[in-house]
């Protein structure tokens, strides 16, 4: 916004920065624990939590440790958790994603039994963790992604997750028509109260690297044919508009840091809540720089999240959710 009196000789914006109390009074954006969602990994077959080397402080969880994290999240007052399953066995169709006794569906039931309605329980609706080729959809004979066959798998996956207790399913595969297809399947199943978080503008980013370790990704090659080109801003608005038209209850931009312009566009155009995902690479960079003493860790974490909030995010998925909730409470 342009200063309405840019040439006034006695204009002194610093008056409002003079003391901590004054800065607090006029602060434009504030972080709230309820706006934060914690992504959590549950791995089949673990007997104790396993550290993720590229994401210090983040672990793959057992069923028991997952329930404890969910209870901690509810106590901390954060908005929700987003569950990612890591199966022991994978196949070309990602069959474990639609097995009622598969790790993600079991985890959803565990968390709902632990926290009930005290926490919003979200689940990742994508095949990449479950396929032996690591792609987000079913492969055609020529090795490309078969968009429409994948939509059928997403429909079945959405129904399984709703039946397991998911409050929100996150359509993260970037298949054309995925929100509409899943919405139709949920409604047909009698799960019309299950909400859809459309990963509306999801880019083929280099910042997903540590996540690949977190889910033990089997991917070879890349996802450039279905995730968005990082150079495209207008395309992000088109994808958001399509998800809204298909009935998304929330929309998300992923990653956050390098796409704050797209996030601001989403906030301007969306009539539904807008989320952003502060992805694994964003987390890892700050942790690595802080470990080397190059930056103030707490200030950098809070500044990064405030930037996402300032750009227009109503909800932020971040691996620091529990820690930041504690900082906010103690501030």
* Helix, coil or strand: residue 3: coil
Contact 180, 198 (CB under 8 A): no
322: tokens are 């529990």
CA distance 271 to 53: 39
The CA R_g of the chain, rounded to the nearest whole Å, is 20
> Please, which residues bridge with residue 61 across strands?
42
Catalytic residues, by residue number, are 202, 254
Helix (H) or strand (E) holding 269: helix 260-269
Is residue 108 reached through a cis peptide bond, with omega within 30 degrees of 0 on the bond before it?
Answer: no
Contact 125, 154 (CB under 8 A): yes
Contact 60, 43 (CB under 8 A): yes
* Helix, coil or strand: residue 45: coil
CA distance 148 to 306: 39
CA distance 133 to 131: 5
Q: What angle do CA 298, 304, 306 make, to 5 degrees?
A: 100
Nearest CA among 30, 111, 120 for reference residue 70: 111
Nearest CA among 134, 138, 123 for reference residue 186: 123
CA distance 229 to 4: 38
The 3 state secondary structure assigned to 273-317 is: CEEEECCHHHHHHHHHHHHCCCCCHHHHHHHHHHHHHHHCCCEEE
């Amino acid at each position: 916004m342009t200063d309405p009196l840019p040439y006034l000789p006695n204009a002194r914006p610093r008056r409002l920065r003079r003391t901590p109390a004054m800065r607090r009074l006029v602060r434009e954006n504030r972080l709230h624990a309820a706006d934060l969602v914690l992504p959590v990994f549950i791995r089949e077959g673990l007997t104790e939590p396993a550290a993720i080397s590229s994401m210090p402080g983040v672990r793959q969880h057992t069923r028991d440790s997952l329930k404890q994290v969910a209870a901690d999240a509810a106590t901390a007052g954060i908005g929700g958790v987003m569950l990612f399953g890591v199966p022991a066995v994978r196949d070309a169709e990602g069959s474990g994603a639609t097995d009622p006794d598969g790790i993600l569906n079991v985890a959803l039931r565990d968390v709902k039994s632990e926290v009930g309605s005290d926490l919003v329980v979200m689940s990742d609706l994508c095949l990449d963790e479950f396929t032996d080729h690591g792609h987000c959809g079913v492969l055609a004979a020529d090795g490309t992604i078969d968009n429409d066959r994948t939509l059928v798998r997403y429909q079945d996956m959405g129904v399984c997750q709703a039946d397991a207790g998911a409050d929100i399913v996150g359509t993260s595969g970037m298949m054309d028509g995925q929100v509409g297809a899943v919405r139709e399947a949920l409604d047909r199943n009698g799960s019309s109260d299950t909400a859809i978080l459309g990963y509306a503008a999801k880019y083929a980013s280099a910042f997903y690297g540590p996540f690949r370790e977190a889910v033990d990704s089997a991917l070879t090659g890349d996802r450039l044919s279905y995730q968005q080109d990082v150079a495209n801003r207008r395309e992000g608005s088109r994808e958001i508009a399509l998800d809204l038209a298909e009935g998304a209850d929330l929309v998300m931009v992923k990653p956050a840091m390098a796409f704050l312009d797209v996030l601001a566009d989403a906030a301007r155009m969306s009539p539904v809540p807008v989320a952003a995902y502060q992805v694994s690479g964003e987390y890892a960079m700050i942790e690595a720089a802080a470990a080397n003493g190059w930056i103030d860790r707490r200030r950098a974490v809070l500044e990064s999240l405030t930037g996402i909030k300032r750009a227009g995010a109503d909800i932020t998925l971040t691996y620091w959710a529990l820690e930041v909730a504690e900082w906010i409470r103690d501030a």
